[in-house]
Amino acid sequence: MPAILKALKALSDPTRLRIVALLVHDELSVNELQEITRLGQSRISTHLGLLADCDLVRARREGKRTFYKLNSQAAGATGEFIQLAIRGALELPEQGGDQINLKRILHRRREQATVFFNQVAGRFDRVYGPGRSWQAFGHLLLRILPPLVVADLGAGEGLLSELLARRCKKVIAVDNSEKIVAFGAAKAKKNGLKNLEFRQGDLQSPPIEAGSVDLVILSQALHHASLPSAAVTAAYQILKPGGQILILDLLKHGFTKAHELYGDRWLGFAESDLHSWLETAGFKRIEISVVAREEQPPHFETMLAGAEK
- Specify if 96 maps to a domain: no
- Over range 29-52, report the average pLDDT: 91
Please give the model's pTM, rounded to 2 decimal places: 0.67
Q: Distance (Å, rounded) from C-alpha 23 to C-alpha 12?
A: 17
Q: Distance (Å, rounded) from C-alpha 7 to C-alpha 2?
A: 9
Q: pLDDT digits over 82-128, tens only?
A: 888 888 889 999 999 999 999 888 877 766 555 566 666 666 666 66
119 & 58 share domain: no
φ, ψ at 289 (rounded to 5°): -155, 155
71 & 138 share domain: no
**In the predicted structure, residue 134 carries a pLDDT above the cut 80:** no
Quote the pLDDT of residue 123. Answer: 64
Give me the CATH number covering residue 164: 3.40.50.150
* CB count in 10 Å sphere of residue 37: 20
77 & 191 share domain: no
245 closest CA partner among 295, 300, 202, 309: 309
pLDDT-based confidence at 236, cuts 50/70/90? Answer: very high
CA dihedral 157, 161, 165, 169 (to 10 degrees): -130
Contact 245, 278 (CB under 8 A): yes
57 & 191 share domain: no
Quote the pLDDT of residue 137. Answer: 76
**In the predicted structure, residue 164 carries a pLDDT above the cut 90:** yes
Q: Distance (Å, rounded) from C-alpha 162 to C-alpha 202?
A: 20
* CB count in 10 Å sphere of residue 62: 9
**In the predicted structure, residue 252 carries a pLDDT above the cut 90:** yes
- Over range 57-78, report the average pLDDT: 82
Quote the pLDDT of residue 113. Answer: 52
Quote the pLDDT of residue 238. Answer: 98
147 & 275 share domain: yes
Cβ-in-10-Å burial (0-12, 13-18, 19+) of 296 comes to exposed
**In the predicted structure, residue 39 carries a pLDDT above the cut 70:** yes
- Specify if 103 maps to a domain: no
74 & 194 share domain: no
State the alpha helices, DSSP H only, in the chain: 3-10, 14-22, 30-37, 41-53, 76-89, 95-110, 113-124, 134-143, 159-165, 178-190, 228-238, 258-262, 271-281
Pairing of strands 170-175, 196-200: parallel
Quote the pLDDT of residue 214. Answer: 97
Quote the pLDDT of residue 9. Answer: 84
Quote the pLDDT of residue 84. Answer: 85
Q: Is 218 helix (H, G, I), strand (E, B) or coil?
A: strand
Quote the pLDDT of residue 184. Answer: 92
Q: pLDDT digits over 195-233, tens only?
A: 999 999 999 999 999 999 999 999 999 999 999 999 999
Q: Distance (Å, rounded) from C-alpha 129 to C-alpha 289?
A: 28
Considering its fold, how many domains does the chain have in total? 2
Residue 67's domain spans which residues? Answer: 3-91
Range name among 6-10, 108-112, 282-286, 289-293 with the lowest pLDDT average: 108-112
Range name among 135-149, 186-200, 293-307 with the lowest pLDDT average: 135-149
